[in-house]
Amino acid sequence: MAKKTTKKKTTTKAAPKTKAKRAFKKPSLKLSSQQKLIFGSFLIILGALLFISFLSFVFTGKEDQSVLHNFPERSNEYKNWASQLGAWVSEFFITKGFGLPSFIFAGLLFLSGVYVTLSLNKSKLRSHWIWGTLIVVWLSILFGFFTHKYDFLGGTIGFEMNQFFQDYIGKIGTILLLVFGLITYLAIRFKITGETLVNSFKSAKSSIKEDLQSDKKATEPTPIFDNSLTEEAEAIKSALDIPLKKTEPTITKHSKPEPEVEKDSKVEMLKMEVTEKPKEETIETPELKIEVEAVEEEKSETDNLADKLVEDFGQFDPTLELGKFQFPPLDLLKKYDNEGISIDQDELEENKNKIVETLNNYKIGISSIKATIGPTVTLYEIVPDAGIRISKIKNLEDDIALSLAALGIRIIAPIPGKGTIGIEVPNKNSTIVSMRSVIASQKFQKSDMQLPIAFGKTISNETFVVDLAKMPHLLMAGATGQGKSVGLNAVLTSLLYKKHPAEVKFVLVDPKKVELTLFNKIERHYLAKLPDSEEAIITDNTKVINTLNSLCIEMDNRYEMLKNAFCRNIAEYNVKFKARKLNPNDGHAFLPYIVLVVDEFADLIMTAGKEVETPIARLAQLARAIGIHLIVATQRPSVNVITGIIKANFPARIAFRVTSKIDSRTILDGSGADQLIGRGDMLYTQGNELIRIQCAFVDTPEVEKITEFIGSQKAYPDAHLLPEYVGEEGGTNLDIDISDRDKLFREAAELIVTAQQGSASLLQRKLKLGYNRAGRIIDQLEAAGIVGNFEGSKARQVLIPDLVSLDQLLDNEQ
């Protein structure tokens, strides 16, 4: 019985609530799918009918005029293709209304039908209607300007409005008003700004220029010296009997009779196939633009606010502060005369014969041989006869080198992924791989990598571009004078050509004090530094330790930010931030990539040892996801410099020429670097196979020009500031004296009381402090009685309940 009564009670209580809810519920306008189809197709047909009526009105309107003034009757005869209704509606919209622009209404009706049928975004349709109506009005006024009566061009409204404007502001005023209307429309609708106009004008100008130049070239008669050259070449050809081509040197197979080798007829029989990669296309545009691709995210209920913000303000653009920043043009980089690969047929034949002979001497038969010509070395790929052991060929490395009388022979047995054995032989005349050619390559220009680096060209003459973000850290070694500094400059130049200052920051450590000084000029654009330091480029060892530790703090802070944003890596985080889904008031900010470059690492390890190794190892282990990438270069790749822990965390390595096999083994876990020929010849590995690359050459004057070009542009007020790090000697004593309190003490106290959470990491994050300083402030807060005692891993208890009590406490202290 008792149960029953309670049940009744609850139902009677709930009833009025739901009733009230029902009373306040908005009438739902949601249509079912079938209703949408019916309503949508009705609108589509209505739109089509309107269009037909309007179109017909243009031709038959005049004839129908007389009937239109009659009383509507069934017997009236109309010429309009939609008869009475068509004539009446057209008369209403066109003559009495907006004139010809009324066609837009027919289009809008049609579009609405499509939107309703397919359940497309309603807010877009609304915007189409608003803009469409404004365009109708504007066009109607424009057309009305040119007529002197009520006609179908601008309609009554267009004509009357024109009269109205002309009476008050005159004809010129009306024209100007129309122009203003057009500008406003373009600016709002298509987000056109003065800058975009200037930029598009510039690019149009340069493309016209290029077109003109190419036309000119195409139509120009062949210059006289060309003829003379051809004549000369013909003369030489007839003397030497070599088939010559006017264009770039190419190889025609067996263009020369095979030289006779008496010893072994097999040599004669072997035909060599020479592969020459087609030249890569290059794009030479004066200005480089970055394309920032928006990634579509799944929608959820909570996205509504972000969507609204994006709709109102567009995506967050981190480059906006330096919106006018211009990327360095390609012309700042030098072109070299000896850039193209020249093929010396005699050299090829000679080397082929020597290889075959040497191998024959050791009873190794070859069934085929193929050459691939690179900028500095040529790769001869051989397929040995069946039954030959690979190790036998590998052991002949020195003998082949001796018989070819060349340094830098490297045997790759077998070539990974192919059933062949490779013998790399340096070319007699090596060609320079200019930075310009690799930067201009399509591969680099069109790459959508996060931190693309154009290192140079591979043995098959392809531009080698890798993503530093994927490496994720790079270890570089090479004896002095073999191209390490040039390599570092190539890395930095690549990034400067592709990344906006808002997207990447460099931390440069240069104990030699001379290699990276040029980058000082771009301090306020691209460099990051400690808050209290004057120079952004770090040359002093104690500063290096502080900077590395500061980067560790930055890393921890970034991880915290990623955690709060539920993102796994910096790319995801930045996409979310750009989509305005992360609130800057919660401590979120757009995160630029940070590239730490350490030159002369050996020197640092020798002087600072563990103090440097520990933060480097920590960064290398953890920093990949939050966009901090390390490039460490050293002259001495000995095991006490490149320790196990460093090696384990640097899977991507580059070796320039080193002096011993042991050094090569330390850096590459195998030999090979000792057989390089220097001057930018390098081996790259990202864990598995070795790739031989000729590093792109960028000279100091070129770097100077680039940094000057960037440095002369508008910059940020200061270099990017890293979090503060106070060294161990900063002291951890309890500062009980009020006058010794930290400058940020009060701010910190307010923060802690507001958050009711006594943790040092909160201070670190919100006030951007180092761990030590935050810890010291917590100690001071404890001494002041604001937070409780240290409680192990738990946050300290906050003893002050609110800001008013805090103010009272602090005021009473004084």
Ligand X SMILES: Nc1ncnc2c1ncn2[C@@H]1O[C@H](COP(=O)(O)OP(=O)(O)OP(=O)(O)O)[C@@H](O)[C@H]1O
Annotated binding site, which residues? 478-485
CB-wise, 554 or 600, nearer to ligand X? 600
Residue 92 in contact with residue 55, Cβ under 8 Å?
no
- Exactly one of 480, 583, 607, 732 binds ligand X (CB under 6 A); that residue is 480
Residue 637 is a binding residue for ligand X (CB under 6 A): no
CB-wise, 198 or 514, nearer to ligand X? 514
| Strand residue runs (E) in 648-726 | 652-655, 681-685, 690-695, 720-721
Residue 482 is a binding residue for ligand X (CB under 6 A): yes
| Residue least distant from ligand X (Cβ) | 680
Minimal distance, residue 492 CB to ligand X, in Å: 13
Amino acid at residue number 738:
I
Minimal distance, residue 684 CB to ligand X, in Å: 13
The region of 327-335, 347-355, 476-484, 711-719 touching ligand X under the rule CB under 6 A is 476-484
**b/e string for 480-499 if b means 16 or more Cβ within 10 A?**
eebbbbbbbbbbbbbbbbbb
Contact set for ligand X, span 665-684 (CB under 6 A): 679-680
Minimal distance, residue 463 CB to ligand X, in Å: 14
Residue 484 is a binding residue for ligand X (CB under 6 A): yes
Other CB atoms within a 10 A radius of the CB of residue 661 amount to 14
CB-wise, 690 or 769, nearer to ligand X? 690
CB-wise, 112 or 437, nearer to ligand X? 437
Residue 436 is a binding residue for ligand X (CB under 6 A): no
Residue 635 is a binding residue for ligand X (CB under 6 A): yes
Minimal distance, residue 440 CB to ligand X, in Å: 17
Residues 6 or more apart whose Cβ sits within 8 Å of residue 711: 521, 522, 525
- Exactly one of 61, 483, 511, 758 binds ligand X (CB under 6 A); that residue is 483
The region of 126-134, 277-285, 386-394, 479-487 touching ligand X under the rule CB under 6 A is 479-487
The region of 33-41, 80-88, 475-483, 555-563 touching ligand X under the rule CB under 6 A is 475-483
The count of residues interacting with ligand X (CB under 6 A) is 14
Burial class, 622, CB count within 10 angstroms (exposed 0-12 / middle 13-18 / buried 19+): middle
Of 735, 654, 728, 726, the C-alpha closest to 695 is 654
Residue 601 is a binding residue for ligand X (CB under 6 A): no
The region of 63-71, 484-492, 530-538, 769-777 touching ligand X under the rule CB under 6 A is 484-492
User: Number of H helices and number of E strands within the chain?
Assistant: 28, 16
The region of 15-23, 24-32, 44-52, 480-488 touching ligand X under the rule CB under 6 A is 480-488
The region of 249-257, 473-481, 754-762, 768-776 touching ligand X under the rule CB under 6 A is 473-481
Residue 450 is a binding residue for ligand X (CB under 6 A): no
CB-wise, 376 or 445, nearer to ligand X? 376
CB-wise, 358 or 378, nearer to ligand X? 378
Amino acid at residue number 465:
V
The region of 62-70, 216-224, 437-445, 478-486 touching ligand X under the rule CB under 6 A is 478-486
Residue 511 is a binding residue for ligand X (CB under 6 A): no
Minimal distance, residue 655 CB to ligand X, in Å: 11
- Exactly one of 481, 701, 727, 731 binds ligand X (CB under 6 A); that residue is 481
The region of 62-70, 158-166, 267-275, 483-491 touching ligand X under the rule CB under 6 A is 483-491
- Scan for tokens 């691939």, then name that residue: 372
- For the chain, the first-to-last Cα distance in angstroms comes to 70
CB-wise, 372 or 635, nearer to ligand X? 635
- Exactly one of 695, 726, 752, 774 binds ligand X (CB under 6 A); that residue is 695
CB-wise, 502 or 516, nearer to ligand X? 516
Burial class, 134, CB count within 10 angstroms (exposed 0-12 / middle 13-18 / buried 19+): middle
CB-wise, 574 or 694, nearer to ligand X? 694
- Exactly one of 104, 116, 465, 486 binds ligand X (CB under 6 A); that residue is 486
Residues 6 or more apart whose Cβ sits within 8 Å of residue 287: 199, 202, 203, 206, 326, 327, 329
The two structure tokens encoding residue 39: 């309503």
Rounded Cα gap, residues 531 and 552, in angstroms = 15
Minimal distance, residue 673 CB to ligand X, in Å: 13
Contact set for ligand X, span 178-217 (CB under 6 A): none
Of 512, 553, 558, 501, the C-alpha closest to 531 is 553
Residues making up the binding site for ATP: 478-485
Contact set for ligand X, span 696-735 (CB under 6 A): 697
Rounded Cα gap, residues 17 and 24, in angstroms = 11
Helix, strand, or coil (residue 107): helix
What phi and psi, each to the nearest 5 degrees, are found at residue 770?
-80, 165
Q: Please provide the size of the chain in residues.
A: 814
Residue 426 is a binding residue for ligand X (CB under 6 A): no
CB-wise, 113 or 487, nearer to ligand X? 487
Amino acid at residue number 443:
K
Minimal distance, residue 568 CB to ligand X, in Å: 37
Residue 615 is a binding residue for ligand X (CB under 6 A): no
Q: How far is CA 758 from CA 390, 693, 785, 808, in A?
A: 67, 55, 12, 19
Rounded Cα gap, residues 671 and 169, in angstroms = 86
CB-wise, 357 or 699, nearer to ligand X? 699
Please work out, in degrees rounded to the nearest 5, the angle formed at the alpha carbon of residue 196 by the alpha carbons of 195 and 200: 120
Amino acid at residue number 4:
K
CB-wise, 442 or 700, nearer to ligand X? 700
DSSP code string of 284-347: --SS-----PPPP----TTHHHHHHHHHHH-S--TTGGGTT--PPPGGGSPP-TT-SPP--HHH
Other CB atoms within a 10 A radius of the CB of residue 14 amount to 10
CB-wise, 655 or 760, nearer to ligand X? 655
Widest pairwise Cα distance in the chain = 125
The region of 7-15, 417-425, 477-485, 575-583 touching ligand X under the rule CB under 6 A is 477-485
Minimal distance, residue 494 CB to ligand X, in Å: 13
Residue ranges that bind ligand X, judged by CB under 6 A: 432, 478, 480-486, 635, 679-680, 695, 697
